[in-house]
Amino acid sequence: MLFWILVATLTAAVAAVLILPLMRAGEAPSSPHSHDIEVYRDQLDELKRDQDSGLIGSDDAELARAEVARRLLAAGDSDRAVATAVSPRRGANRLAQVFVLLCLPAVGLCLYLLTGSPGVPAQPLAARLADPNGDINVLIAKAENHLAVNPNDGAGWDLLAPIYMRNGRIEEAVDAYDRAIRLLGPTPARLGGYAEALVVQSDGLVTTKAQEALRQALTLDPNDPRSEFYLALGLKQEGKKEEALTAFNRLVATSPADAPWLPLVKQHVAELTGAGTSSAAAPGNPNAEDVAAAESMSSGDRQEMIRGMVESLESRLKENPDNLEGWARLIRSHVVLDQRDKAAAALKEGLKTFPADGDGGKQLLTLARELGIATDGVTQ
């Protein structure tokens, strides 16, 4: 019943908002001759009084009365013309008002009957949480309500963390994995999930914190493929090509032939051996045409294209240095290309726009340390 009361109230409010302008538009405008008519009538009364008191003769009074009467009739004709012009518009406004009052509620009711579920009883949030019917958002809300009351329930955080990851809620996933590890203890699955969330949070960069979690996971399970992959990727990002290639090859050798991660691992092996192009080295986010062109190029041409993309990014940063993400991408790209001196130079240039004591400068310095770039003297 409350629902229908709310619907009726909202419908009435909308109808009032629509009708008020129509009512104001339908009002007849004031006549420009209304004041003249009053003046002429006063003049006729005054002529009669003057005639009765003998101040004006009968002939003069008749002439004056005839002139005033002529003007009065002319003003009256103008008023009638204005009223005639307004009446059709007033009729149209009446029709519009009737349409709003009758058709608006009827159309709204028909739409609700067609698309809504009037026969379903009202179900408050508590009831929906008790019976989610497979709705993932309701399940998440149910788990969050439970954990708000029981924050030390490690099993709840352990269950919620991967759900957050699948739904793209990376910040919450990092926090949930961290809580589950502290409350239930580390396992390869929890540590690997935590590290993966950190990598996604840092836009694909295997940070120092992620590497620590991955190494801890490998001490618990030396054959954990996820930890091996991300550690190898971290070595590649640091420019340690030989070590990264060894780690990737070891993962290929120990993985089953039908392992779903093998194609990606082999892609990295091909890139490290010069048979492919590292997507991380393309700072300009190449499109499909760029990728197709790179695949058909020789190794030398491919390197030339990558250098051109780096140079393009550098020129854009010279024109618009106020681009923190661009500086971070440029530093990372130079590291991937094993150009650490250029990475350090890019860091120094970026710190001119984003000082080391500011938030942006701190982010660049943190990235440089994670990539193994010496920051001593850069901030001088």
Model confidence pLDDT, tens digit, residues 44-56: 788 778 777 777 7
pLDDT of residue 106: 76
Residues 316, 326: contact at Cβ < 8 Å? yes
pLDDT of residue 181: 95
> Helix (H, G, I), strand (E, B), or coil: what is residue 113?
helix
pLDDT of residue 304: 60
Amino acid of residue 342: K
Tokens coding 195: 């590290």
pLDDT of residue 291: 43
CA distances from 20 to 8, 85, 98 (A): 18, 22, 13
Quick one: 364 exposed, middle or buried, by C-beta within 10 A (0-12, 13-18, 19+)? buried
Query: Would you give the DSSP letter of residue 57?
Result: -
Q: What is the pTM of this model?
A: 0.46
Q: Can you list the residues of the chain whose pLDDT is less than 50? A: 26, 86, 123, 125-126, 128-129, 275-296, 298
pLDDT of residue 314: 84
Residues 232, 215: contact at Cβ < 8 Å? no
Please, what is the angle between helix 340-353 and helix 359-370, to 10°?
170
* DSSP states along 300-357: HHHHHHHHHHHHHHHHHHHH----HHHHHHHHHHHHHTT-HHHHHHHHHHHHHHS-TT
pLDDT of residue 277: 42
